[in-house]
A and B are shown apart, each in its own frame.
Chain A
Amino acid sequence: MSKELQLSDPLQKVIDALTDEFFDKIIEIYQSSGDTFVRFEADATLDLCKYLRDEQGFVYLCDIFGIDRYTNEERFEVVYNLVSLRDRTRLFLKIRCEEENPKVDSVYSLWPSANWFEREVYDMFGIRFRNHPDHRRIYMPEDYKYFPLRKEFPLLGIPGSIELPSTTPDPD
């Protein structure tokens, strides 16, 4: 599976160990433009992340972001951008979730920095995170009902969806 990939030595070790440990959970491992992506079953998120953090040195969570694939099945993707300072490697993890009631596990317990990253994913895509300590929107106000980075959201926004101060003085 990972044979045709061109990996640096430390990354090769990580991938080998990962495929040994989670062979039934990993769906695919691929490379694109030199970056390595590992896609796995969403229910293994916490175990796999814990393994990578504790055993493989990925102590730094750089970013979490969402992708709207706009497909019928498994519409949303959540990507974790992990960095190992020890091996100077970067690894991307991917999980997918359904359009109806998208929900994945929060990795806040492993990396507290996930707090705001996950809030941003929720704000932009409406993906919810289980056991998140502060599950609020981050950019848009809480009163807002839409998720702007979903593909069906119009570029110009939805008129009237956000309450704005009046630009004319009060009549009375």
Chain B
Amino acid sequence: MKLEDIRSKVNPTFFKEHQNSLYKSLEDKHTTIEEMDDGDPLNAKMVLNMGPQHPATHGVLRMVLQLNGETIEKAKLDIGYLHRGVEKIAENKTYQEFMPYTDRMDYLSPYSNNVALCTAVEKIANVEVPERAHYIRMIGCELARISSHLLWLGTLVMDAGAVSFFIWTFREREKIYDIMDHLTGHRFTVSHARIGGVANDITDSAMGLIKEFAQTFPKELKGWHKFLDRNRIFIDRNENVGNVPTEKALAIGATGPVLRATGYAYDIRKFAPYARYDEIDFEVPTRLEGDNLARYFVRMEEMHESIKIIYQCLEKLPKGPVRTDNAKQAYPSKDEVYYSMEGMIHDFMMTDTGICPPAGAEAYHAVEAPKGELGYYIQSDGTGHPWRLKIKAPSFCNLQVLENILDGEMVADTVVIIGGMDPVLGEADK
């Protein structure tokens, strides 16, 4: 399919130059491969646009696929339909003010995003976090991981053809929303972590719900294993589909479960432990195959590990404050704000100026978000606003992997492969 052929058929209304260069780049991909048969007597070749409004692309991902019959010859991804420029916004906000924006990056696991921002700011500004806050954060992060994996599981199985499964995983997600409601005060965009700790302590009702969830969820998970692990239809749809070869995985920048499904046990929780993950006993599940089924097993096992971590955190949860008691670094507690003049002034200063890391300081801190390595690089100029804040988004990296592995797959499998990659466009598009 030549660019001229596409041009004669497609007449874009918007961003003409953009569309043209996208088709051009599709044409240029693999220029080394000779056209086997330039004539196309059966008319089997076409260029297919999937997305950005396609329901199976999990957001606003657009793929331009060049097909030969049902096989994808080459594929190009077009992202940016959800670009909001959060890095630019960050440069004009105080660090704490920026946190609600991180909720909306990977909106399936807001808690991990909050923690990622906080840990980076704490690293650059040298803020000590109380023990109890670390453990509360870990519980929140693992709940977020389960919540994110539940959505992945539901949609993956739905993409493979079983719709009712989606309802089952969402019933469990609903429980996590309820826990978040009791733990943080919000169901979805939680913004619970604070620089120097967390916003509030675990309430008794949240504690009860977490314990109940940790007890009932493994049983539910066991049922799903029984349902899917040896399910002929599910395995046929996923085995040997969307292969990421082990030797290529690092080079094309895979991260998170996608990388671990190819055999590399690269998990930030073990690689550079943050919070108190070094005091917790857990495994990093890996597989060698690198296909969609391997990613399924890795994520399923990760959910088991998350429950293990939550149990250990609940057991070890120390007593004490949940936010550092230094008015120059963190918000004072509400008791202080309401009953003392000083507390009020500090609260105002934190809201107005916020925490000011030393001028010229730079720091990068990554956490293991459900999708992979989520890192924040911050460069400070000594004011309350970051000079530069760069987000290393795992979905962005995994989408690049997707562009590399789609060639040679079947059109019908793209939906399952996207499901297995589990990208969140809010994060990939920033």
Contact = CB atoms under 8 A, between A and B. Distances in A.
A22 interface: no
Interface stretch (B87-95, B309-317, B346-354): B87-95
Contacts of A67: 379, 387-388
A149 interface: yes
A59 B429 CA distance: 26
Contacts of A59: 250-251
B25 A136 contact: yes
B363 interface: yes
A139 B88 contact: no
B84 to A, nearest CB: 10
A48 to B, nearest CB: 18
A23 interface: no
B106 interface: no
A60 B250 contact: yes
A142 B16 CA distance: 8
Contacts, number: 114
A148 to B, nearest CB: 6
A61 interface: yes
B21 A136 contact: yes
B390 to A, nearest CB: 4
Interface residues of B, number: 51
B253 A35 contact: no
Interface stretch (B133-141, B285-293, B396-404, B409-417): B396-404
Contacts of A165: 13-14
Contact of A153 (B88, B390, B399): B88
B430 A85 contact: no
Interface string A79-93: 101000100101010
A143 B15 contact: yes
Contact of B364 (A81, A116, A155, A163): A81
A17 B395 CA distance: 34
A33 B361 contact: yes
A142 B21 contact: yes
A113 B388 contact: no
Interface string A114-125: 011100100010
B375 A62 contact: yes
Interface stretch (B156-164, B184-192, B264-272, B328-336): B264-272
Nearest to B126: A33
Contact of A149 (B17, B20, B88, B375): B88
Interface centre among B25, B87, B364 (most CB of A within 10 A): B364
B391 to A, nearest CB: 9
A63 B15 contact: no
A128 to B, nearest CB: 15
Contacts of B221: none
A148 B253 CA distance: 25
Given A33-B361, A141-B17, A112 B272 contact: no
A85 to B, nearest CB: 6
B199 interface: no
Contacts of A139: 79-80, 83, 429-430
Contacts of A51: none
B14 A35 contact: no
A129 interface: no
A111 B253 contact: yes
A61 B250 CA distance: 8
A61 B362 CA distance: 19
Given A33-B124, A88-B271, A65 B15 contact: no
Ordered nearest first, which 7 A-B pairs have the shortest CB separation? A113-B253, A139-B80, A33-B363, A141-B18, A142-B18, A141-B15, A139-B83
Interface of A: 32-35, 37, 59-63, 65, 67-68, 79, 81, 85, 88, 90, 92, 111-113, 115-117, 120, 124, 134, 136-143, 148-149, 153, 155, 163, 165
22 contacts: A33-B123, A34-B363, A37-B362, A62-B373, A67-B387, A68-B388, A79-B377, A81-B375, A113-B251, A113-B253, A115-B400, A116-B399, A120-B396, A134-B28, A134-B29, A137-B80, A139-B80, A140-B80, A141-B15, A142-B15, A143-B17, A148-B88
Interface of B: 13-18, 20-22, 25, 28-29, 79-80, 83, 85, 87-89, 92, 123-124, 126, 250-253, 264, 266, 271-272, 360-364, 373, 375, 377, 379, 387-388, 390, 392, 396-397, 399-400, 404, 429-430
